Amino acid sequence: MSCGLIVLTFLGTLWHRPSFIYGDRPYKIARVSMLYGNNSLYERALESHTRHGERWGYPTYIKRQNEYCGYWNKPTFMIQQVAQELAKPEHERAEWLMWVDADSIILNPNIPAHIFLPPREFTHINIVAARDIQGLNTGVFFVRVHPWTISMFVDGMAFPLCNPKVELGNDADQAAMARTVLKSSGGPDGYGFKRGIVYLPRNLFNAYELPGYMRDGRTDVLRNFTGFEEPHAFEGKKGDFIVHLPGLFGDREPLMTDWLDMIENRQEDWALPLEETTYVKETAQFWKMYGEAVATLREAFKREDTGKEVVDAIRQLRIALSEEADDANRIAEYTNELKELLHPTALFDDE
């Protein structure tokens, strides 16, 4: 067996035949968060999530007890919640958990969360997340209810024990998870966790309110809205689903207050019906792009005699789907490069 065929056989196990059909039922989702201590703004923010969950049938679980695990409270709670769901009869359990930090606010309750999740036949996807300039952000993300997910969180929590010289910084749990999902070996099936994550554009379900030092010079932000008292820099637009306010320090309270006052008193000024937003179009375009890339990979996997150039193109596209699927131009470029190698065109037309 050639080296190229061995590589293709291995890579072929990572993907499933795509379809763009969600079936006749949306995913069952539960929402998870954590808050202890007294913070009225965070309570109000989580109430926005609870109301949204009640509208769409998503139960909300909020951890109120501090386990004094520091950064590891979040993954510990997520492991507990996944395990509790798995203990239920299959027809009763949630299929996905949506984690939301308490500094995130649902702005438009007309947007269902399940619209962001993959078509059902993409069974290899177990994490749907977004990234920023620093990489993975775990302020708002989705995980599939599956033993794989427990293994991923356990592996992440073990990271500092196995790598004591690695400095994880102020968001240790997030940094550990970011490194865990880059692993292409180990894990429950020997292939690591890299194949199980996909990044969607952050504006879809994790749009930021930007800190002061990032506001200047930005023309693509919403700065004012009806009744706002503070200057804002929201990287979204009217009708958007959510705002997340990470790393704002002293600015967070007045900015959160503006958003909370708006959704509690004037939500009709902001919330658009789903069909008047771009969410259906944007999510459909994303999964179509993703599916075309996977279909091209599957075609390549079937080739028995493949040269190094094709193998390299497969690896390039596969890595991009795991690390930067939110970059539509790059995915299209890599998909087209592989297609051209699979179906080379003649340099000259026959005369």
pLDDT at 2: 42
Tokens of 339: 């297609």
Look at residue 136 and tell me if it is in a domain: yes
Q: Taking all residues of the chain, what is their mean pLDDT, rounded to a whole number?
A: 89
Tokens of 182: 């880059």
pLDDT at 27: 97
Q: Are 97 and 84 in contact (CB under 8 A)?
A: no
Q: Do 87 and 189 belong together in one domain? A: yes
End-to-end Cα, the chain, rounded Å = 40
For range 175-190, the mean pLDDT = 93
pTM (predicted TM-score): 0.90
Beta strands in 41-188 (DSSP E): 60-63, 96-100, 104-106, 127-132, 135-144
Kindly state the helix (H) or strand (E) to which residue 32 belongs, with its residue range: strand 29-34
pLDDT at 134: 92
Query: Which residues 6+ apart lie within 8 Å of 3 measured at CB?
Result: none
Q: Do 226 and 193 belong together in one domain? A: no
pLDDT at 304: 78
- Give the number of other Cβ atoms within 10 Å of residue 283's Cβ: 18
Q: Do 184 and 223 belong together in one domain? A: no
Residue span of the structural domain in which 200 resides: 25-206
pLDDT at 294: 97
CA–CA separation, 61 and 107 (whole Å): 20
Tokens of 244: 């997340």
Look at residue 338 and tell me if it is in a domain: no
For range 97-120, the mean pLDDT = 98
- Give the number of other Cβ atoms within 10 Å of residue 206's Cβ: 27
Cα R_g (the chain), whole angstroms: 22
CA 113 from centre of chain: 12
Q: Do 189 and 223 belong together in one domain? A: no
For range 4-12, the mean pLDDT = 40
Q: How many Cα atoms occupy the beta-carbon half-sphere of 131 within 13 Å? A: 18
Using alpha carbons, select from 179, 221, 209 the residue that is nearest to residue 197: 179
Look at residue 294 and tell me if it is in a domain: no
The count of structural domains within the chain is 2
Place of tokens 């993954």: 75
Q: Do 72 and 174 belong together in one domain? A: yes
Question: Out of 43-52, 178-187, 278-287, which region has the weakest mean confidence (pLDDT)?
Answer: 178-187
- Give the number of other Cβ atoms within 10 Å of residue 348's Cβ: 5
Tokens of 198: 């996909």
Q: pLDDT digit string (tens) for 18-42?
A: 333 344 579 999 999 999 889 999 9
Confidence of residue 68 (pLDDT cuts 50, 70, 90): low
Q: How many Cα atoms occupy the beta-carbon half-sphere of 35 within 13 Å? A: 21
Look at residue 309 and tell me if it is in a domain: no
Q: Do 264 and 194 belong together in one domain? A: no
pLDDT at 1: 41
Using alpha carbons, select from 154, 33, 16 the residue that is nearest to residue 83: 154
CA 128 from centre of chain: 3
Look at residue 78 and tell me if it is in a domain: yes
State which of 241, 274, 307 marks the end of a domain.
274
Task: Sheet with 29-34: list strands edge to edge.
Answer: 60-63, 29-34, 96-100, 135-144, 127-132, 197-199
Question: Out of 13-22, 90-99, 154-163, 258-267, which region has the weakest mean confidence (pLDDT)?
Answer: 13-22
Place of tokens 């320090």: 249
Look at residue 196 and tell me if it is in a domain: yes
Look at residue 16 and tell me if it is in a domain: no
Question: Out of 16-30, 208-222, 266-280, 332-346, which region has the weakest mean confidence (pLDDT)?
Answer: 16-30
**What is each CA distance from 347 to 6, 179, 293, 344, 350, in whole angstroms?**
31, 44, 25, 9, 10
pLDDT at 279: 98
pLDDT at 24: 53
